[in-house]
C-alpha cells in the first residue's frame, strides 16, 4: 500500500535546496542509513534518536520509519512483491489517512506499510490542531505519537487487549532537504515490498543470519 506526495507540495513549504550534491540515495544506501530504525537493542529505544536542539515543528518534510513492537510481523505479509494488509494493517492505513483531519498543519507524503514497520513522509505546512487551530505548528514527535496511539487503541479494541502498544517506543527520522532526496526516498518507499526478501527487518532473513 503506497501513497505518494507531489514535489509541488514540498517545494511550497519553502525548505528545499535546489541541489543536494552527490548524495547516494539508492535503496541499498538508504537501507544502510536506516540502521537505527528497528534493529537496535530495545534498551536504546528509551533514548531519543532525534537531533538535539532541532525544532521539529519547523515547516518542512520528514522521512519517518516506525517499527512494530519486537519486530513482529503484525500488519500483514508480502505476496509476489506486494503487501497484503491484515486488519491491523488496515487500521494503520486508516489512521495514517485520518491524521490531516486532526492536524491541519500537515500533508501526507509517500507511505508504505510493511509486515513489521512503516515508512512515511510527513510534511509540516502550518495551521494547528483541529478543532481549535492555533498559530503554532504541530511538532513531528506529536504527530508520530498520535499515529502510534490512535492505531494501537483500535488494534487493542479488536484483539481484546489493553495497555500494550503495537509499536516500538522510538522511531527513525530524516529531515528531507531537497527535491532529489524526496524523489529517491519516494522510490525507495515504493520499492520496499519488492525488496522484502533482502530486508534486514524480514524475520526470515534475520533468522538465517542467527
In this prediction, residue 210 has a pLDDT band, given cuts at 50, 70 and 90, of: low
d(CA 60, CA 207) in angstroms, rounded, equals 38
pLDDT over threshold 90, residue 39: no
User: Residue for cell digits 517499527?
Assistant: 67
pLDDT over threshold 80, residue 207: no
The pLDDT of residue 201 is 82
Q: Domains along the chain?
A: 2-199 (3.30.70.1290)
In this prediction, residues 20-24 reach a mean pLDDT of 35
The pLDDT of residue 75 is 97
Flag the least confident range among 4-8, 65-69, 71-75, 88-92.
4-8
Helix axes 87-102, 140-159, angle to 10 degrees: 140
- Contact (CB, 8 A) for 115 and 75: yes
pLDDT over threshold 70, residue 18: no
> pLDDT by residue (tens digit) across 79-104?
999 999 999 999 999 999 999 999 98
pLDDT over threshold 60, residue 187: yes
List the grid coordinates of 34.
Answer: 536506516
Count CB-CB contacts under 10 A for residue 140.
Answer: 23
If one compares 111 and 23, the residue with the highest pLDDT of the two is 111
Nearest-CA neighbor of 116 among 144, 138, 147, 85? 85
What percentage of the chain has pLDDT greater than the value 90?
46
The pLDDT mean for the chain works out to 75
pLDDT over threshold 90, residue 205: no
Amino acid at each position: 500500500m503506497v501513497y505518494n506526495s507531489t514535489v509541488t507540495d514540498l517545494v511550497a513549504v519553502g525548505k528545499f535546496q535546489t541541489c543536494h550534491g552527490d548524495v547516494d540515495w539508492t535503496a541499498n544506501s538508504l537501507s544502510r542509513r536506516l540502521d537505527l530504525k528497528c534493529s537496535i537493542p530495545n534498551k536504546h529505544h528509551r533514548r531519543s534518536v532525534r537531533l538535539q536542539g532541532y525544532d521539529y515543528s519547523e515547516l518542512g518534510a520528514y522521512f519517518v520509519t516506525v517499527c512494530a513492537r519486537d519486530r513482529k510481523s503484525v500488519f500483514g505479509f508480502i505476496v509476489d512483491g506486494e503487501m497484503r494488509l491484515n486488519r491491523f494493517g488496515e487500521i494503520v492505513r486508516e489512521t495514517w489517512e485520518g491524521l490531516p483531519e486532526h492536524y491541519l498543519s500537515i500533508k501526507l507524503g509517500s507511505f508504505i506499510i510493511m509486515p513489521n514497520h512503516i515508512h512515511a513522509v510527513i510534511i509540516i505546512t502550518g495551521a494547528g490542531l483541529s478543532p481549535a487551530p492555533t498559530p503554532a505548528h504541530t511538532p513531528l514527535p506529536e504527530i508520530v505519537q498520535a499515529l502510534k496511539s490512535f492505531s494501537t487503541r483500535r488494534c487493542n479494541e479488536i484483539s481484546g487487549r489493553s495497555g500494550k502498544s503495537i509499536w516500538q517506543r522510538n522511531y527513525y527520522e530524516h529531515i528531507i532537504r531537497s527535491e532529489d532526496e524526496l524523489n529517491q526516498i519516494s522510490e525507495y518507499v515504493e520499492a520496499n515490498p519488492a525488496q522484502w526478501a533482502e530486508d534486514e527487518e524480514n524475520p526470515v532473513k534475520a533468522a538465517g543470519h542467527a
